[in-house]
Each structure stands twice: as C-alpha cells, then as structure tokens.
Amino acid sequence: MNILECIINNASVKIPANHGIVLLDFLRQHEHLTGTKEGCREGDCGACTVLVGELQGDGVYYRSVNSCLMPLSDVHGKHIVTIEGINQPKELNPIQQAFVNDGGTQCGFCTPGFILSLTGYFVNNGKFEPADALQAVDGNICRCTGHTPIKKAIHHIVDSLKNNSAADGTFLSYCVEQKILPDYFLAIPARLRSINTAPLTDVHIEEEHTIVVSGGTDLYVQKAFTMHAEKIKNIASWRKSIPITEDENTIHIPGTTTVEEFRLSPVVAKYFPELKRQFECFGSTPIRHRATVAGNIVNASPIGDMTCLLMALNAVLTLRDAGSSRKIPLRQFYKGYKLIDKKYSELIESVSFSRPKSVTRLSYEKVSRRQFLDIASVNTTMVFEQTEKGMLQCGISAGGVAPVPLFLAKTSEYLNGKMVNGDTLKESLRIAQTEISPISDARGSAEYKRLLLRQLIAAHFMKYFPGAVRKGSLI
Amino acid sequence: MKNFDSEKHVRGESQFVDDLPVPEGTLYAHVFYSRVAHGRIVSIDLSAANAMHGVAAIFTAKDIPGENQIGGIVQDEPLLAEHHVHFIGQPIAVVVADTALNARSAAAQITVEIEKLPVITDPRDAFLNNELLVPPITFELGNTNAAWTQCDVVIEGIAETGGQEHLYLETQGAFAVPAEGDAVKVVSSTQSPTAVQRTIAQVLNIPMHKVEVDVLRLGGGFGGKEDQATPWAAMCALASSSLRRPVKMILHRQDDMRMTGKRHPYSSDFKIGLKKDGTVLAYEAAFYQNGGAAADLSPAVLQRTMFHCTNSYFIPNVKAVGYSCRTNLPPNTAFRGFGGPQGKFVIEAAIFKAAEVMKMDPFFIQKKNLLKNGDEFPYGQIAERCQAVPCWNLLEQKISIDDVKRRTADFNSANEWKKKGFALMPICFGISFTNTMMNQASALVHIYTDGSVGISTAAVEMGQGVNMKIHGIAQRIFSINAERIKLESTNTTRVANTSPTAASTGADLNGKAVQLACSVLLDRLKQFVSEQLQQPDSAKIVIRDEKLFNDGKETEWTWPRLILAANGARISLTAQHFYSTPNIHFDRETSKGQPFAYHVFGTALFQVTLDCLRGTYGIDAVNVVHDAGKSLQPVIDRSQAEGAIMQGIGWMTMEEIIYNNEGRLITDALSTYKVPDIHFTPAEMNVHFLDSSENPFAPFNSKAIGEPPFMYGIGVYFALMNAVKAFRPDVTFPVIAPMTPERALCLLYKEVGTLAPSLQ
Ligand SMILES: Cc1cc2nc3c(=O)[nH]c(=O)nc-3n(C[C@H](O)[C@H](O)[C@H](O)COP(=O)(O)OP(=O)(O)OC[C@H]3O[C@@H](n4cnc5c(N)ncnc54)[C@H](O)[C@@H]3O)c2cc1C
Ligand code: FES
Ligand code: FES
C-alpha cells in the first residue's frame, strides 16, 4: 500500500504513505487546518485533540485522540475530524454556544480541543450524564478558566440534550439534527466503506532497526523529532478485531487491545468491576483510546499501570516471531532498566491470566501528583484468594520503586497462607521495604516513595481486612 | 452581550502567531542554549551545525549589529551569551534553517566548551554570598522595636513558597518579516509590544520607527510574556534583517519551560507580635527572593511583595526588608499577582502560627485585624473605600463559619482516615503599576464612512477579555450595533510608547483612553448634527440604538447617515486620546506615597478533605465574596475570577518547580509539571460579586479583575494544614508551599523517618 486514503473533515484525501510525521503536523502544515493547536507534543494538554472515526458494525465510531502522538501512517480508512469539520456555516453549535455563554473560553487556545472531546462524547453515546461528559475532557487542560466555567458549560449542554437524546439509537443523525455535527457526517459511513482496507493479519519484523508502533503514546513522546526519519512498522490494526475473551481457565487479551477497550471490557467488568473506574486514572480518554496493553508492557516503564496490574495477576505473554511463538510469564520479562526478554522481531500477540475464582480479590492503588492524567509516583496491585485458611496465591506488584516494574516476591511469599492481622501486616510492610530501591525524581523523593508504598499496601489490606490497619501502627 | 472573541475561539478561527499564513521563503529559527548553569564560554563550534541540511545561518553574540542587551529595569542580560553563561537554558546561538525540524537537528550539532563556575540555586545562599540583583528594599510603619514589649505573644518563623510555571497554552513565539530598507515588521506573542520594539531597535541599532510590532492575541500570558517574549522576537528580527527573509520561531514546550523564568520562589523570615485578644501589634518580615540570573522584573516584583506584606490587615508597626537574590536559574519574572501572593503567604503563615500558639482559630485573628477606612498601609497610603470588612461579613452571612467549624469537627471525629479542614483568606490588592510612570495609555478610534468603527489601544488581548470590555465601552458611548465595532490588533505604529498589558490595568487604563476618545468623537458628531438640526444645545442630541433623537424626539437621522454626512462636511472621524492615572505617586527613597489608584478586596472560604492514608486531597468548596466594582462584563469577570483562583490553588498544591543542585530543571515537561485539571476543580465554587462601590479610577465604576482573585488560592494551603492538624493535633509543622501530595503525606507521618532497611 503506497497511498494512504482517508477523509479529513469533508474532503477525501490521498497521502503518499512514506510520511513519517504525526497527524498534528500534517493537519497544520499540509492541510492548513490551524484550529488544531500544538501545546506540548506529549499528549498532556489536549490542544491537538481531533476525532478519529472508524467503521464499526454499520456505523462509524468516533474517538478523541491526541494528534501530536498519532502517526500519520495510521489514518488509512479513517475519518479525521478537526474543529473546522464540525463548524456550522453561520451559527454556533450547542456545545460552542454553551462555552461562549458560560465563559468557558478565555484565550481560546485550548478551546477547539475541548469542543472536539465533547463532540466525541455526544456522538458515541445515546444517554448523556454530566459526570461522563466531564470524563470526556479529562485529556484537555485549560490554563485560563481553571475549568470551573467549562464544567458549567458542560452541565448546561447535557441538560439541554439529555431529555430528548436519540430514541432510535442512531446518534449520528441525532447529532446532525441537534446541529452538533454538520449533515455531511451522514454520508461518511458509506464513504469510508468505499476505501479499500486490508486487515493486517500477519506481521514480520525483518530488520532490527524497524520501530514497531502500536498506539504511539510512548514512542512519539520520547522521539517526537526523530521518529519521522525512522523506519516504522505500524501494527495498531493487527488482530484488532479480536476482543478480550475468556475460556474455562483463562482470560485472553490481544496485545493491541487499547487501555480503553480493556477498561470497558465486559469480561474485565465481570471479575473486577472496580477497574473500570480505577483505570480512569490511566492517562486520559484520548490516551486510552490509543495506548495498548502490549505497548505498556514492552515500554518497560517502572510505573506502567497495566503492567503493574498484569504482574500481580501473574499474566503470561505470548510472543510471536514470524511463524513461531513462545510464552513467558510477565514476572520474568524484565531483566533490568528498560531491558526485556524479547527479540526485536518478536511481537506480543496476547496476554493471558488465570480466570479469577469467586474467592479471588484484587486491589489496585495508584497515587500521583495529580489524580488524573498523571504518571504514578507509586502504584501497586495485590491479588489473592481470601479463604478461611488465610491468604492464598498472593501476588503484590509495585511500580515506581525500582528500575523495573516490580513483583514483590518475598512479601507475596510471606503472606501466602497467612491469616491477616496487625502483626502480619506489619511484617509484610517491613519485608516490602527490603525489596525496593526507589530513586528521587520529579515524581517524588526516594523517602516519599518508600512511605507511599507502605501506605498503599496498607490500603490494600484496609479494603479487605479493615480491622488490621490501625493508625497507631503506621505512625 | 455577544462576545466576538469567544465566538471565534470556539470555532477554532482565532489566529495565533503560529497560525498566520507564512510567505514563501520563510525560514525557521531554533535556539541553542547552555547546558551549564554557570561558566565561562571557552569556545563555540558551529562547523558541524553549519554543514547540516537546510541551514541558512547561525547567529551568535558577535553577529549582533547593535547592543547585545535585553534587560528592562537593569541592563544586565545579553540576548545571546558571549563570555559567560549564567543559567541552564540561556540562549547562546540561533540556528536558522528551511524547516523547524532542520533547524532543531542542526542545533543539536553545536558544541560549546564551557569552564564551569560555582552554581547557586538557593536565594539565602546567594544572599550570604552578597549576590544581590539590586540593593535591599525596606518598608517601615510605626516602630516595631518599641512595639514588641507591648505584645503578649511574639512568634518567629520561616515561610517558603515555590516557583510556578506560567504554562500559557500557547508557547512563546514570534515571526519577523523584513520591510523596506533596514526596517522590520514583527508579529510577537508579547504583553509588551513597545518593549519588543525598543529592544529590537537596540539590538539591530536602528531607530524605533523602523520596527513595527503587531500583536493580534496571545494564547495566555499570565505575566510570562511581559518581559520574556522579547528575546524570541529579537532573535527573529536579527535573523530576518540579516538574511532578508521572513523568520519564524515557535518554542517547543520543553525549550520554553527550560529557557524562561517563572514565578519567584521566596524564603522568608517573619516575626509577629499580638495582644492576648488577637490584635496584631507588630510584624517584621525579611523576604529572600530567588531572582534567577538577571534582574528582569525582579526588583518590581519584590517591591509588590513589600506593598502587600500585610495583606488585608491593619498592623500599626511594620518593618519589611526585601532582598532580590541572584542565582543561577533562568531569570524569574512577572506572574499574576507579581510578588503580591508571596508577600501575603508570609503574613498568613505568621497568623496561622500565632493561632497555633495562642490556641485560637486563625480566622478569629484574621477578622479582628481587617483593614478599615482611614487605616494606613506600610507605604503611607490611607485605605479608602475599604471593602475588607463588608466582604468578610457578607461571606459570613452566606455561610456561618461556626457552622463550618462544627461540621468539620463532627466529620473528623467520625472518620479516622479522612479529615476535613477549612480556612479563610481575605485579600487586598492595589491597582496601578507601582512604577507610576507606566500608568498611561492611549487609544486611536476611527469611524469609517460606512459607520463601522475600528479601535486601537495599547492593550493586548490574552484571554482576559480586554477587547470585549473596551468594545462594550465604545458601544455604550456610541449606542450602536455591536457588530459595527472591531478591536484592532495592538500595533506600535498605531499606538506608540505603550505600557505592557499587565498589573491588571489593561481595561482600566486603555478603557479610560477609549472612553475619552469616543466621547470626543461623539461630541464632535453631536455638534455637527445640532448645527444641521438648528438645535442650539448639542447636549440635547442623543444617539440611541443607532437612531438620533433631538430633545427627546426621534429624527430622520441614523448612525450611517450621520457618519456619511459628517464625512461629507469634512468633520474628522478619527480621535486619539491619552489617559494617565491621576493623583498617584511613590517615593522610592522613603518607600512612601500613594502608589495605587484604588484597592480590590474580598474574602474566600476553603473547605478540603484529606485522605490521611494516601496523602491525597480534594477541594470540597470554595466560597468567595469579591469586590469587582460594577462589572463591565460579568461573564468575563466571573471566568477570570474562577480561573485565577484555580491558578492560585495550583500554585499552593500540585504545581512544583524542581531544579537540581546543578541548576537543571527537573520538571521540564507537562508530564512532570502538573497543573489543575477538570477533576481537581472544587466540587463547589461560588463567587459572589459584592454589589457596591463607586470607583472613579476605572471606566463606569468597574474594577480590575486579572490578578486579585489569584491570591484567594493561598487559603487552600491553610485549609489543608488545618486538615493535617486534625490527624496530627500533637505536631507542629513548617510552613512550606506547595502542599503536594508528597508533602502532605510526609507531614502526616512526620516521625516515621527513613524506611530504608539498614545495610547491616
Ligand atoms: C499523556 C500520557 C499519559 C500516560 N499515562 C499513562 C498512565 O497513566 N499509565 C501508564 O501506564 N502509562 C501511561 N502512559 C504511557 C503509555 O500510554 C502507555 O505505556 C501505553 O500503554 C503504550 O502503548 P502504545 O501502544 O501507545 O505504545 P507505543 O508507543 O506504540 O509503543 C511502546 C513500545 O512498545 C512496543 N510495542 C508496542 N506494541 C507492541 C507489540 N504488540 N509487540 C511488541 N512490541 C510492541 C513498541 O515498539 C515500543 O517500543 C501515558 C502516556 C502519555 C503520552
Ligand atoms: S499538543 Fe498537547 S496533547 Fe498534543
Ligand atoms: S482558554 Fe486559555 S487555555 Fe483555555
């Protein structure tokens, strides 16, 4: 495939596929769509937010994404929507009008990003709730208004749309009717279907210097200015159609599953209903729309949230190398800072873990400087079976306290078979301190991270053994 | 009232510097800066960089035709480092290439050899080494030495506040186009078009009339583009005039964060003396300001710290000393509040500590000492139209503080791991540039023959809504359709010798100038019509909603007809007017005078909940009574107030600037420097505007809004302290801001000490 074909707003566009740049630069420099702004190029401000529409069933599903992190090579077969693409010719749409009425825009630099994030929310949902609509802008930062006026605007929009939302479930036509979208959107599904898309079935990485890109939410942050010259292999669509599944013994997660797909997965919800809410603390909505499970693992960041979770669950990776594949437990995958047990040509095809039992308990804790859209200072997950004989199959992982995502082997081992009381808690907290080696950095001093991990392990216990944690034993 | 700017913003149609279509042949500039915080430049090697693809030229100090100088108050800062470097991020060379990417890649090939010199990052260290940017400043009222003996309680302590990144969403940038001869036109994202113009003239060694600076709008400024937008514009102008090509530079966020200064961190000593009943009799403070490597605006910022060192309280005996300390950090600069917040924090810390010792509620001491009409400020001005008590009382009417206290205590006794806290925060903020000469503005108003109106002023629109406020003033005077009026870009050839848009004075000063210019035009037009209608008294001519009334009766005349006829009769449809704030003065020698046109007052109540297991927290409610005068644009003023409060909250909580000992910024990206997001907004925020006051010093009795509400944010710190104390009533704590989750947890578990297992 030498030509990428997509629709940008109302225009069908063909792009030579050798463009290594990110979507943001293409939109601003080549298409002169300057309503999409550059604020940080690292996914942390949302000024560059656009909507990416993809065929899904009969319709098109729109996701907000950070165009500063999305490789242009990923636009094929998609509908890219910028602020210019949702403007009505003369009047303001209801979202825009609410921002004006409530003082939700001051300097205006962040504003198109907010409007698009919200548009994405309204286009994809039939039922509107203020809390969900607020969640949709968790990737947008406004330095001027401090968000309170924006919050008011969002409440007003939701109120005005709430009671008459799409009765027949066709959100697209409802949004067109409400003037949230211009009417050319109605023809987009058919136009996208006419673009030839061949699913990526098998991937071979032949050359060592090829960079495998999935969501790009790590790669483009670190290498924004060099990536354009690299040879990249985009695998975002690899095995994309396969959802998270379960069989008798095992839960299977395809490597390219996005964090948002994981968060909303019915299988995940069935066993760990709390994770849906807790994983709102993973990046932001647009980051989660792109970030993948495999990317989180291979990135080998000591504070990866997905890695922290999967490590406690004792997940196993399936690595595919051309025709062959092998399995390796996640707990053995990390060999040193950013060193992993993987050849350049191996790809994570899937991740699996044992199907939780009725006695399986999970506690996930993350503290960061800012609760949302921030990397953890320390995160930790505890998984165990709560039985009359005490804790069984205990696994505790911890991030931010070592050069690698850490499995607290000794602490977990100690707790196995123990009844939990104040003494076992205290001893486990002590052992945990011997397993970690945090360093001081922007996310906290080494001392803080030690203290914080202690507190968060105590927090795990507090959820299931509230009596065991006493103020006196922590001070 | 329609907001034309907002309507463009929500459609993504507003243009910022980086959005302007560039002419063919435009080149892109990238700055190469020092990686060493202090040292002597031994050599610079540009050869590898020069050989890179697309490079047009590389400029260093020796390529500057004029003066290599950008210092405003003190001439102590080169545009490009020549012999020495004084901070990491100090520009050394400007690489210009065909694309921004090529310029960046080439810059990476530059090597410099630097002989390292000792690095100072702490203001008290700088003070001990006698590294002061300007001589110390002293403010004195009464006699503190004599007062201590009359006090029942005297408390001393230290209070510290951290820096703050402006994080204007639009990074710094400029775009220069060569004009005829050796002239240059520059589009800059600056709050100070004239400073940019003057500096470029100086750097290029050409007269100011050859430099045209144009500013359409800024994607946020907050003070960060008052002095520090200048270098990038000057670099573009230098490259553009030398290469005779348009040159654009937009800073990447990380470069912006590394190269530019921030809010000044302060470390301060305080001593406060009170009577048993809570009356504050005496207060002393010594402020050690971390100025960074060059003066920039630090002396003026420090001065405002002194002006606001007693916040909203009357204290009869005060002595404050301020030291502007030179360190090897990027020169710190203006930031909303301009030193005021740092001054206020220290008196609040002193009151908090006094309350702790005296076993009183801090709000009791706060309330007891609020300023009243006739009270004297430490700088000699007498409080007039003082709204400190009315604001406090109205807040108490709306929410009973005793009630809040009781409910907080009830919650805290019922919950072991969650604690609530609350605090009040009154503010008083003086309006005017404290440098009296800067309190001037002018406006140029054209009425075109089709009846449309174009207004140029010195004010720069950066989100604070000054354009719409001025728009409203003109509309009110002419009484014509809003669509007829347009605010032009801020341009040094249309309005000259401008003061920066800063100190919250943009709408006051420029609004007054516009009010005067429009009134002149209106009088001129009325005079003309009265002759046409043979009405001897032109005051009987009134324009209302585009129609002309003569002695109360509607005439055939409408605005378009009037304008066309006036033009036909050769009446000038242009007016220019000037405004300078009357009756203000300040003597720097004695630190006494009447520096402010007026003061803005208000009181806020903060309520928070602290998770004492994790050290994390949320803000339950912020309730404010704010004295906004008669707001010109209530939607804008409310949004300003709410935004400022949140920025203040950020400064006091999660926003933390960390430099390491070598002077390298650790929090140099949005992934490590966190500002409040939508989830961190208070669950409830109510800003009530006091309906009051006449204020002859701003148009139509309005009041400045930009900065004052920022300082309410200080209240969140003391509310969190209050919650910490609920968990640890036995312990006293140092007063160090920001209260990050890290600091909160470390306070809660103060004695845990090191958890690292011993090596034996
Ligand atoms: C603003 C922002 C916020 C973030 N917040 C969080 C957070 O809260 N918690 C957190 O854990 N992370 C966070 N991240 C990091 C990042 O989003 C995650 O690590 C994400 O899971 C990476 O996935 P990706 O698909 O985008 O990876 P990519 O950037 O595409 O790739 C990362 C690495 O993985 C490799 N790779 C990707 N897929 C495969 C595969 N299938 N097989 C083999 N190798 C592969 C790539 O070659 C590359 O080396 C954040 C990032 C940003 C920009
Ligand atoms: S530019 Fe900030 S998120 Fe993309
Ligand atoms: S309006 Fe300026 S950043 Fe949001």
Please tell me which of the candidates B8, B676, B755 has its beta carbon nearest to residue A451. B755
List pLDDT tens digits, range B707-753.
999 999 999 999 999 999 999 998 888 999 999 999 999 999 988 87
Residue B238 Cα to ligand 1 midpoint, Å, equals: 42
Residue B429: left (phi > 0), alpha (psi -120 to 50), or beta? beta
A66 Cβ closer than 6 Å to some ligand 2 atom: yes
- In the structure encoding, which two tokens stand for residue A380, read together? 């930790």
Is A266 a residue whose pLDDT tops 80? Answer: yes
* Domain assignments of chain A as residue spans, ordered by start: 1-198, 201-355, 360-475
- B547 CB neighbour count, 10 Å cutoff: 16
Confidence of residue B760 (pLDDT cuts 50, 70, 90): very low
B-contacting residues in A 431-450 (Cβ below 8 Å)? 433-434, 441-448, 450
Amino acid at B571: I
Residue A110 Cα to ligand 2 midpoint, Å, equals: 10
Is A168 a residue whose pLDDT tops 60? Answer: no
Task: From A25, A34, A44, give the residue whose CB has the most ligand 2 atoms within 8 Å, as the site to mutate.
Answer: A44
Is B759 a residue whose pLDDT tops 60? Answer: no
Annotate A341-367 with b (16+ C-beta within 10 A) or e (fewer).
ebeebbbbbbbbbeebeeebbbbbbbb
Mean pLDDT score, A283-310: 97
Mean pLDDT score, B205-218: 98
Q: Which CATH class is domain A1-198?
A: alpha beta
Rounded distance, CA B195 to CA B189, Å?
Answer: 12
Atom index in ligand 2 nearest the CA of residue B670 equals 2
Give the Å distances, CA to CA, from B461 to A214, A425, B14. 41, 58, 12
Q: Using an 8 Å Cβ cutoff, are B94 and B28 in contact?
A: no
Q: For chain A, what is the mean pLDDT?
A: 94
A46 lies within 8 A of chain B by CB: no
Q: Using an 8 Å Cβ cutoff, are A73 and A17 in contact?
A: yes
Q: Write the DSSP string, B683-745.
A: SEEEEEEP-----TTSGGGB---SSGGGGGGHHHHHHHHHHHHHH-TT----EES---HHHHH
CATH for A201-355, options being 3.20.190.10, 3.30.1050.10, 3.40.50.720, 3.30.465.10: 3.30.465.10
Which chain A residues contact residue B218 at CB under 8 A? 107
Interface test with A, best of B263, B677, B731 (most A CBs within 10 A): B677
Its pTM surpasses 0.90: yes
Active-site choice (B348, B461, B655, B707): B707
Confidence of residue A165 (pLDDT cuts 50, 70, 90): low
Count of helices and strands (H, E) across chain B: 19, 30
Which chain A residues contact residue B250 at CB under 8 A? 38
Which chain B residues contact residue A107 at CB under 8 A? 9, 168-170, 217-220, 462-463
Give the Å distances, CA to CA, from A450 to A67, A333, A446, B746, B754. 37, 24, 6, 11, 8
Q: Which CATH class is domain A360-475?
A: alpha beta
Contact criterion met (CB < 8 Å) for A109 and B416: no
Amino acid at B356: E
What pLDDT, on the 0 to 100 scale, is given for residue A170?
64
DSSP run (H or E) holding B611: strand B598-611
Rounded distance, CA A188 to CA A123, Å?
Answer: 13
Q: What is the ipTM of this complex?
A: 0.97
Could you tell me which of A471, A474, A365 has the C-alpha nearest to residue B753? A474
Assign B610 to helix, strand or coil.
strand
Give catalytic status of residue B707 as yes or no.
Answer: yes
Rounded distance, CA B708 to CA B337, Å?
Answer: 7
- In the structure encoding, which two tokens stand for residue A273, read together? 């209903």
Could you tell me which of B160, B199, B158, B200 has the C-alpha nearest to residue B179? B200
Q: Using an 8 Å Cβ cutoff, are B574 and B444 in contact?
A: yes
DSSP run (H or E) holding A182: none
What pLDDT, on the 0 to 100 scale, is given for residue A236?
86
List pLDDT tens digits, range B6-44.
999 999 999 999 999 999 999 999 999 999 999 999 999
List pLDDT tens digits, range A378-427.
999 999 999 999 999 999 999 999 999 999 999 999 999 999 999 999 99
Q: Which domains does chain B have, with CATH numbers?
A: 4-118+172-250 (3.90.1170.50), 266-433+589-750 (3.30.365.10), 440-580 (3.30.365.10)
Which chain A residues contact residue B53 at CB under 8 A? none
Give A430-433 contacts, CB < 8 A, sequence gap 24+. A430/B757, A432/A396, A432/A398, A432/A408, A432/A457, A433/B755, A433/B756, A433/B757
